[in-house]
Amino acid sequence: MDSLLARISRGQLWPSPGGIHPALNKSQSNSLPIRIPPLPPRLVLPVKQHIGAQGHLLVNVHEQVLKGQALTKPHANWSVPVHAPTSGRIVDITPMPSAHPSALPELSIIIEPDGEDRWCELVPHPNYRELTAERLIDILHFAGISGMGGAGFPTYIKASTKQQIEVLIINGAECEPYISADDVLMQAHSDEIVRGIEVLRHLLQPKITLIAIEDDKPKAIAAMEQACASIDDMQVRAIPTKYPSGGEKQLIQILTSKEVPAGGIPADIGVLVQNIGTMYAVQQAVELGKPLIERVVTVTGDTLAEQRNVWALLGTEVKHLLAQQDFNPEPMQRVIMGGPMMGFTLPTVRIPVVKTTNCILAPSEAEMPFPGEERACIRCSACADACPASLLPQQLQWFAKTKEYKKLEEHKLFDCIECGACAYVCPSEIPLVQYYRVAKAEIREQQIEQIKSDRAKERFEARKERLEREQEERRNRHKRPSRSKEQDAQSKEKVAEALARVKSKQADKGADKDKVAAAIARAKAKKAGEQLEPDNSEVAQERAARKEQARLYKEQKQQADTAEPVAKDDKKAAVAAAIARAKAKKTAQAEETEAPAQDDKKAAVAAAIARAKAKKAAQAEDADAPAQDDKKAAVAAAIARAKAKKAAQAAEADKAQTQTSGNTDTPATEQSEEDKKKAAVAAAIARAKAKKAAQAEATVKPSSESSTEPCEENNTGTDTQSSETQSPEDKKKAAVAAAIARAKAKKEAKAAQSDEAQDDASENSKTPEAEQSPEDKKKAAVAAAIARAKAKKAARDAENKPEQEDPS
């Protein structure tokens, strides 16, 4: 079985789906040679005349240019320059109506020809085979060559493809009615076209080259066969005349039986297609160095006196070309750029000729009637039968009307080549192609917006990530380094030590903190008792705790009050004893002879003063303290016992000190009478003080003890007897001392009374009588009995000690 390439070489052809056979109307223009019209008054050159990006301007307004001079410079992919079609002056660079169905303004360069038609310097390359492929591609690129069959695809892009091309197809079918530009170009310039094909074959190295021409162009077929007869692997193929067999995908299918995949390009299947006019431009650019500045345009229609093909400079306005053919417009005249099937009606005849313009059609109304009013689809399926892309035009039209763009894409809308065959056969005269063009434009806009949105989202996310990364870096920059476990342990130890110091300091503050804590505890207990529901057991425990706390506080306060006077009295007794010893020593030294008498007198005076003080203290206490107050009597008895004990201890200390000093200074065998007198005086003073303390204790005993009144009577008698033997001066001193003693006793009695009242108040506030339990009352009675017993014992000890120490 022969291979596909062998069958292609033998000239086998394959049928293509769909297609129609409209009236050709080519004979009106293809029978005359190509004409060169006079220079137009101005040339309007759009900067962009191809698919891709426009170039950067190289010229300015009022600048003089030469023919063939580059006016723009390519700067991006799919960008080709434009050149000056003739010499002249640039009068303006401004947006002008474009050669498009919308006629939207595009940036254009307006040149005023000077009529000299002076060329710029050209660089021909007749020996192009000696050039590298890159150099050849650059020549095609900077010559501004793009596809001249209708799409305007940059030629240098196709010529520089990296894919292996097996079949190179030169499209000379020219299936559109009325258009005969390629037909007459092949008849007149077949040799130049073949040399241009050779340049492309040199770059692509295809296995076979096919020149496809419809069989309704016999002169063109004969001319091309003659031109390529001596070239191997280049053949002319006459294909059946059917519209749109000149379409790229349809022509590939007819010649090779291959189908271009949806969304793909012919190079994907090893095929490349170029136009006849493009091959002529390639030959002019490489061998002669001429850029693309003109092309063949068919000017036809019944409103023209002469219909023919002309060499039109790029930028020539349609109005100028029509005028050269004696244009006679009708009232409702239409001018179409392109053929009747794929062309579009111009909004104005001031539109310029561009690189893709192949026909200017000015038909009369009889020749091409206006389309009728659109009617409802009758579902005849004629459009589907005529579609060369095997689509469903009716379904696409429904989706386009309802703007269901996703369904349009699913039904392969972009496979439509907009040939117009469906609209041509539609009995309802529905402009199907217009629906498809609008839908395609809207879908492209959506895609562009989506691309912009995606890019903006990417930029936003990238910016967000960058800001977060910078913020994290700033945080890490100011973040302290992580500490080791040892450092953490050391810091914890330091904190614990600090807390311990604070606690110890707080503990040293004294009883104030304890009082505050006790008050807080009572408040918390009280609050808790208010919040919780009544519970007899918990209330009893709280009351017991409060009573115990009050009792402890009272005992602590009594101990503190008792210890302070004792310590104070001990200090005073020691001072008094020292003063007495000093006075006794001084008196003994001054009056040795009168020492015994004066010592007796001083002792008597001291005893009288002591008795007076004791009597005054007893009277003050009897007046202020009622006998029925057992609690106050117990406190007073405790104070009296403490004082008596202190006096006894002081007397013992004085005696011991006297004996020690006597033993140290002089031995017992060598003691003088003077020392004995001093010792007797000190002993007498001590006995007087002890007796005074005993009498004071006896006066503050409870009224229940019967020995109180006799003691007072005896003391009174003793005081009276002593006062009778005293001199006036001694009486005066004794009165002063008694007054002082009474004031001190009264002051101490008041202080004791205020302490007792404060204790009673605190005890009553903490433990009311109504809340005291029988156990607390029993403990209080026991404590009072113990205090009375201790007081009675201390009084007896104080009475016995003076008698034992007295040598007499």
**Binding-site entries:** 377, 380, 383, 387, 416, 419, 422, 426
Residue 446: its H or E element = helix 432-478
Six-digit token string for 4: 């596909």
Task: Give the residue ranges of the annotated binding site for [4Fe-4S] cluster.
Answer: 377, 380, 383, 387, 416, 419, 422, 426
The DSSP-derived string for 16-36 is -S--B------HHHHTS--B-
Exposed (0-12), middle (13-18) or buried (19+): which is 180, by Cβ within 10 Å? buried
Which residues share a beta bridge with 83?
70
SS (H, E, C) 291-336: CCCEEEEEEECCCECCCEEEEEECCCEHHHHHHHCCECCCCCCCCE
- Measured distance CA(722)–CA(414) in Å, rounded: 148
| SS3 state at 337 | strand
- Measured distance CA(632)–CA(625) in Å, rounded: 7
Cβ neighbours of residue 655 under 8 Å, at least 6 residues apart?
682, 683, 686, 805
- Measured distance CA(76)–CA(154) in Å, rounded: 12
SS (H, E, C) 104-125: CEEEEEEEEECCCCCECCCCCC
> Which residue, among 726, 469, 751, has the nearest Cα to 603 in the 3D structure?
726
- Measured distance CA(47)–CA(254) in Å, rounded: 36
Read off the DSSP letter of residue 38: P
Q: How many CB atoms lie within 10 A of CB 353?
A: 29
Angle, in degrees to the nearest 10, between helices 708-725 and 673-699: 140
- Measured distance CA(754)–CA(793) in Å, rounded: 26
- Measured distance CA(256)–CA(244) in Å, rounded: 17
The DSSP-derived string for 372-441 is ----------HHHHH-TT---HHHHHHHHHTT-HHHHHHTTGGG-----HHHHH-TT---HHHHHHHHHH
Give the pairing type, strands 208-214 and 234-239: parallel
> Which residue, among 218, 235, 237, has the nearest Cα to 227 in the 3D structure?
235
- Measured distance CA(37)–CA(294) in Å, rounded: 12
Six-digit token string for 598: 């004066």
Six-digit token string for 656: 């011991």
